[in-house]
Amino acid sequence: MKKVFHWTSDDAAYVSDAVVVWCFDSRFDLPFRKFLQRSGIRNPDMVKVAGGAKCLASPGPESNRDFVVDQINASIRLHKTPRAILMLHSDCGAYGGLAAFQGDTEAEAKHHEAELRAATEFLTAAIPQIAVDSYFLNFEGVWEIE
């Protein structure tokens, strides 16, 4: 093996602040990480899958939902995670992008809000001990689903 990068990191076991289920669309990576930090999430366990919380709300194959639930349970078991954060974003390819909503950002936001509510309901029923927060990201900000 050849070392190609050096850094030092704390090697102690940690407790995760939240398990975060989000999309792997890199356009939202930096702003969402900044949002998490500003929200006090310092040790997130990240579950990045196409469509983010879509796999809990309206999965293609049921195995997608099972995979994400298994990852959340692993985070709880391994890192004592008390909270899940679910994310969807504008122009997501897993939903057909903004074009699937004929460019109507309001219709898209309403649809994703309903999807996040469904994902939250499913996850709360599947893993009752975990608190769930849901967020929609567009190109202007982060919106909490209340």
pLDDT in tens, 37-85: 999 999 999 999 999 999 999 998 999 999 999 999 999 999 999 999 9
Q: How far apart are CA 32 and CA 14, in angstroms?
A: 22
Q: Grade residue 14 by pLDDT with cuts at 50, 70 and 90.
A: confident
Cα dihedral sign for 130, 116, 87, 25? positive
Cα dihedral sign for 76, 82, 68, 32? negative
Nearest to 142 by CA among 23, 17, 33, 16: 33
The neighbouring-strand residues paired with 19 are: 45, 84
Q: What would the mean pLDDT of 1-12 be, rounded to a whole number?
A: 88
Q: Grade residue 10 by pLDDT with cuts at 50, 70 and 90.
A: confident
CATH topology of domain 18-144: Beta-carbonic Anhydrase; Chain A (3.40.1050)
Q: How far apart are CA 35 and CA 77, in angstroms?
A: 25
- pLDDT for position 83: 98
CA atoms within 13 A on the CB side of 46: 12
Nearest to 114 by CA among 86, 142, 139: 86
Domain borders along the chain are 18-144
pLDDT tens digits along 27-42: 999 999 999 999 999 9
pLDDT tens digits along 122-137: 999 999 999 999 999 9
Would you say 86 and 56 are in contact if contact means Cβ atoms under 8 Å apart? yes
